[in-house]
């Protein structure tokens, strides 16, 4: 459409959707998922195809569908980290359907990796393992993508009670990551860096109660600069310190976390910190100073997201 004289040209729908992806990613990285939810809701309002049946878009412009798939993937991630799991599940399903409709295999792989993490977080590690396994390709995956698959598998197998397999998987993830950047890397692989891998290494070790290895790895990840959602590694570090009985270090970390706790935008991080604060208040042998610090932290955290919290949009009334 040609703009009228004296008026700026309206961005093409595909361009506007791509800009929305960039805005949501930036908002999530800087302020966190909970702060990004209103913008995600607005994105669904502005792009009604996200609420249409994916099959109704068959035959439409492939580039447009690909951008919508990416937008749905980003929305799914935000909803997951904001604690809106049922709606994240729905957004992931939409993103996967759109990606498959236009043949965008890389976005489909990212959606599956995100969904595997959601399934692990919500207590379905066997399903998470199956989802991660579907990312495989007839050709070897690029190193960073393969390392992410191995990370997802390591978390799931640890929750299933394995001991040797998670260690082998997370070791392979580090080895594959060190193979470096590839020309075949998808554009979204930029965030798979050493700090991300280190945090997940430590987290898997903590799941296995290997405190001697978990604590230094989580400390390195928690103190590295990075996007907002990596505050989760600090929360997992506190949980590991509490379970390892490292009382002095746990108190020091709470002293560092509490002044900024109210600004944490990740519901997963908030949920983890609330859980550790409850543990420290109730567990035997916890020093009185640390109990008081745990109360201090809990008072400054945002409230956890209640189960079943609605995420309604003008096009979402069927699911209210």
At 205-218, the pLDDT tens digits run 999 999 999 999 99
pLDDT band at residue 308 using 50, 70 and 90 as cut-offs: low
Count the Cβ atoms, other than its own, within 10 Å of residue 13. Answer: 15
pLDDT at 223: 94
Please state, in angstroms and rounded to a whole number, the distance separating the CA atoms of residues 91 and 75.
Answer: 7
Retrieve residue 193's tokens: 């860096």
Q: Per-residue pLDDT tens for 111-123? A: 999 999 999 999 9
Question: Would you state the pLDDT for residue 136?
Answer: 82
pLDDT at 314: 34
What's the pLDDT score for residue 40? 96
Report the pLDDT value the prediction gives residue 139, as an integer from 0 to 100. 84
- Give the pLDDT of residue 61: 78
Please answer whether residues 54 and 97 qualify as being in contact, where contact means their C-beta atoms are separated by less than 8 angstroms: yes
- Please tell me the predicted confidence (pLDDT) of residue 310: 52
Q: Residue for token digits 């580039």?
A: 63
**Mean pLDDT value across residues 245-251:** 97
User: Given a cut of 90, is residue 246 above it in pLDDT?
Assistant: yes
Predicted local distance difference test score (pLDDT) of residue 14 = 80
* Position 319 pLDDT exceeds 90: no
The pTM assigned to this predicted structure is: 0.89
Average pLDDT, the chain: 90
pLDDT in tens, 51-78: 888 778 787 778 899 999 999 999 999 9
pLDDT surpasses 70 at 130? yes
User: Contact at 8 Å (CB) between 80 and 120?
Assistant: no
Residue 234's pLDDT is 97
Percent of the chain with pLDDT over 90: 79
pLDDT band at 170 (very low <50, low <70, confident <90, very high): very high
Q: What is the pLDDT of residue 52?
A: 81
d(CA 51, CA 40): 13
pLDDT of residue 55: 79
At residue 116, the pLDDT reads 97
Contact indicator for 218, 233 with CB cutoff of 8 Å: yes
Residue 203 pLDDT level (bands cut at 50, 70, 90): very high
Q: How high is the pLDDT of residue 318?
A: 29
């Amino acid at each position: 459409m040609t703009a009228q004289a004296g008026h700026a040209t309206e961005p093409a729908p595909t361009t506007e959707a791509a800009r929305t992806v960039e805005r949501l990613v930036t908002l999530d990285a800087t302020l966190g998922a909970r702060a990004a939810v209103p913008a995600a809701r607005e994105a669904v309002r502005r792009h009604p195809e996200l609420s249409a049946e994916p099959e109704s878009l068959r035959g439409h412009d492939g580039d447009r569908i690909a951008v919508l798939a990416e937008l749905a993937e980003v929305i799914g991630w935000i909803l997951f980290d904001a604690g809106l799991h049922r709606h994240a599940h729905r957004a992931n399903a939409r993103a996967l359907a759109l990606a498959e409709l236009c043949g965008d295999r890389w976005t489909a792989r990212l959606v599956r990796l995100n969904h595997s993490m959601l399934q692990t977080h919500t207590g379905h590690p066997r399903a998470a393992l199956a989802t991660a396994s579907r990312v495989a390709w007839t050709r070897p995956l690029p190193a960073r993508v393969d390392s992410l698959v191995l990370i997802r598998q390591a978390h799931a197998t640890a929750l299933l009670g394995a001991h040797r397999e998670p260690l082998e998987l997370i070791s392979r993830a580090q080895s594959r990551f060190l193979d470096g950047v590839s020309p075949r890397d998808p554009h979204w692989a930029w965030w798979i860096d050493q700090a991300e891998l280190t945090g997940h290494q430590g987290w898997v070790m903590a799941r296995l109660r290997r405190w001697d290895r978990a604590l230094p790895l989580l400390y390195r990840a928690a103190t590295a600069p990075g996007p907002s959602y990596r505050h989760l590694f600090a929360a997992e570090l506190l949980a590991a310190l509490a379970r390892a009985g490292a009382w002095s270090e746990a108190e020091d970390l709470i002293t560092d976390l509490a002044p900024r706790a109210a600004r944490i935008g990740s519901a997963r991080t908030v949920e983890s910190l609330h859980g550790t604060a409850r543990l420290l208040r109730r567990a035997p042998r916890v020093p009185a100073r640390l109990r008081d610090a745990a109360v201090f932290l809990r008072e400054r955290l945002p409230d956890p997201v209640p189960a079943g919290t609605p995420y309604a949009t003008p096009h979402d009334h069927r699911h209210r």
